[in-house]
Structure 1
């Protein structure tokens, strides 16, 4: 990003000052905070860090408002239109370009408070920025990678996946693990097939950043993804529903019905509390262009409509501060955006997870930022709606992508 260096240069003083307890205010303030959460474990984690704000600033209380992932992005435009935004708004890096107008730019706040943005991974500071402006402080980032059921691999004597494994080895493992009523893999409608596209040398965006779903090379890769369900039969059919396909597959993985699926390190909090088997992690299997994955992250910004912008700034510094990052990383809810706190994800949350450190280290070396179009939320919804038609066999993968491209371009 052309002015990222300037953004970082505005806030180079010691960040410790931002964590000090501020003097009591004349009137207590209650801040509202919008965040996505799909499980009780996630809600508990966010409530915990919200309480950290009040512990540091006794006159600030944070009222958490959560919605499941898919509902969150459906409701956010409605909140904007009806002037009902919370004071603190959570945002994902790939959706930030859609919503920059609702956020207060943060570079001046960071400069005045002496917050050192260099404590955060540079790539996610860039992800929380657009057109040279920083709009949110990040709490996490990470690559898409493979989660696998280590117990099933060992039961059926299938070699464990590791950095450098190929798509042919992935398919062989998926076939060997599809037995006894279980599936070797779980294919989803959105997101997680895109690293297969990149690893095969294709791209889902044009050089100008436009949607590229009609590209023959991309469509060929996507058809192979569909055929994991329809031809190879190593993945279950997932019908369109109100629940995101990745949550459905994640649930089947947790139950032991699916041996492998793609997700990010932020989901480890739910897996640690729900599975009864040993989990392993591996990078995306290599295609013609190697193992190429996507990396994305999320953070918290201040709504322009907030009546308590300074208090919201104090709060998001705590929500993304070292103490909160240590907690979120230890719980497996975040691969910390702060580089110093990433060790807690490795040493606590991923303790006993086979290949975790090697998988993330390898993936980050070969990752590309998750770039999107301005209407990516629409693209994601269209994929959830139409990809199940290909999984069910009523349309081919290319036909589905042609439809999504056409409707997303209207």
Structure 2
């Protein structure tokens, strides 16, 4: 009997060891949980805390940064594992919305707040912020602009701000002073004309403005207008300036951009564009090009031009947020992840990887600047900007108003089929007919 009892205990112990070794709950879509990825029923966290696994889709460009932030997060929250998933950039929101509508058990997810508002699946964060006494000081004015009907539905982990990039080698070649860090749009226009030389394939353009409507409507937004205002008169002069610069030949025309498939990144890297008006993400693109030996000219940044009467270094900013699923079974743990990833600790990880973060403080700014060995020399301008939201965080604004109405009517003007005044009038009419009647009464900011 003694031998039988001993053999039985050995079998039980062996089975227990095997069960412990098979506890890896990772998946094939970017999970970083590894052997920590236990479900809530497994228990046994630090101090007896329940083990929980959160599922979290993120944009593909942000996946590696999230994994790095998660490594720091688990040091403080060993009982919370996170399985990351992602989809191709162009299909991200379509697939995310489809999965959520089908009941996917995502606990939280990343992306643009306005694209997800109409799903009805977002968990308001107000109670969590209050109960956890969350530090909100570092989010700045962007957070207030993201409140919908008085509620907070997401916290920004990064943002996209605009800057003016310039080819120092070209300016030196033509003996023209570099762009000023306090330049009006009219001064920018004159500088672009001064830097335009030649013709045909050898032409040097004074500036490049991507086909996007943001590159012209930003002038009105800098003055405090929004793209859903009933009176859009401020936008007429903004569109007219781009049309004038095209006629002067100082920027590539919209029609040529469309017919040749021109793109701001390739155009600037070619070396025949003096100034490039684009967002903060272009820094990483140019650094990569330098690492790959694709460019050999010197470059730097200054703030985008501003209207008369508006402070220098006033930029558009578009927040990218973390949101919680109201159907999550682990809301408290999900909020811990949201607060960490978007707060001071997570932001420092993102900033060290070159992201402009939603939350900022002195340590985060140091992490963003780094050791200062890479271009641009004036990277600090990104951290000193006065920001206006690129557009209100309301459902349909990005897809309907920006993607359709402003794009289509602006392109008709740039193609010479209507005046700037006619285009803005049509935009006003279409916003009321195609957007406001659907969303305007149900959603209000702040």
* TM-score over 0.5 (shorter chain): yes
* Residue correspondence of structure 1 range 2-151 to structure 2 within 5 A: 26-29=50-53, 31-37=54-60, 42-54=62-74, 56-59=76-79, 60-68=81-89, 71-73=91-93, 77-79=97-99, 81-84=101-104, 86-92=106-112, 95=114, 98-99=117-118, 101-118=120-137, 120-141=138-159, 143-151=161-169
**CA separation in 1, counterparts of 2:143 and 2:86?**
25
Q: Could you list the per-position Cα deviations for residues 227-281 of structure 1 after superposition, in whole angstroms to 9, with x for gaps in the alignment? A: 323443423433299x9x9xx3244334435332333335533332234344322
Within the candidate set 127, 150, 153, 2:171 is matched to 153
For the 8 Å contact 1:240–1:384, the answer to whether it is kept is no
Q: Post-superposition, which runs of at least 4 consecutive aligned residues in structure 1 deviate over 6 A?
A: none
Within the candidate set 308, 311, 315, 1:293 is matched to 315
Within the candidate set 246, 253, 263, 1:229 is matched to 246
Partner secondary structure for residue 123 of structure 2: coil
For the 8 Å contact 2:118–2:395, the answer to whether it is kept is no
Distance 1:407 1:166, change over 3 A: closer
State the partner residue of 1:193: 216
State the partner residue of 2:30: none
Measured after TM superposition, the shift of residue 164 of structure 1 is 1.9
State the partner residue of 2:186: 168
| Gap runs ≥5 in structure 2 | 1-44, 435-446
**CA separation in 2, counterparts of 1:203 and 1:230?**
26
For the 8 Å contact 1:185–1:261, the answer to whether it is kept is yes
**CA separation in 1, counterparts of 2:95 and 2:309?**
38
Partner secondary structure for residue 102 of structure 1: coil
Q: Does 1:210 align with 2:233?
A: no
For the 8 Å contact 2:87–2:95, the answer to whether it is kept is no
- Answer with 258-267 or 312-321: which moved more: 258-267
| Gap runs ≥5 in structure 1 | 1-20
Root-mean-square deviation (CA, aligned residues, Å) is 3.6
Measured after TM superposition, the shift of residue 101 of structure 1 is 3.8
Distance 1:114 1:288, change over 3 A: closer
Q: Does 1:375 align with 2:396?
A: yes
**CA separation in 1, counterparts of 2:195 and 2:105?**
47
Partner secondary structure for residue 178 of structure 2: coil
Partner secondary structure for residue 86 of structure 2: strand
* Residue correspondence of structure 1 range 236-315 to structure 2 within 5 A: 236-237=253-254, 238-239=257-258, 248-275=263-290, 276=295, 277-291=297-311, 292-315=314-337
For the 8 Å contact 2:163–2:304, the answer to whether it is kept is yes
Partner secondary structure for residue 193 of structure 1: helix
Measured after TM superposition, the shift of residue 302 of structure 1 is 0.7
Partner secondary structure for residue 208 of structure 2: coil
Q: Could you list the per-position Cα deviations for residues 179-209 of structure 1 after superposition, in whole angstroms to 9, with x for gaps in the alignment? A: 433432222322232232255x68345xxx6
**CA separation in 2, counterparts of 1:44 and 1:256?**
31
Distance 1:185 1:71, change over 3 A: farther
Q: Could you list the per-position Cα deviations for residues 368-409 of structure 1 after superposition, in whole angstroms to 9, with x for gaps in the alignment? A: 344426531211111344534444444444444444444432
Partner secondary structure for residue 63 of structure 1: strand
TM-score for both structures, normalised by structure 1: 0.75
Of structures 1 and 2, the larger Rg is shown by 2
TM-score for both structures, normalised by structure 2: 0.70
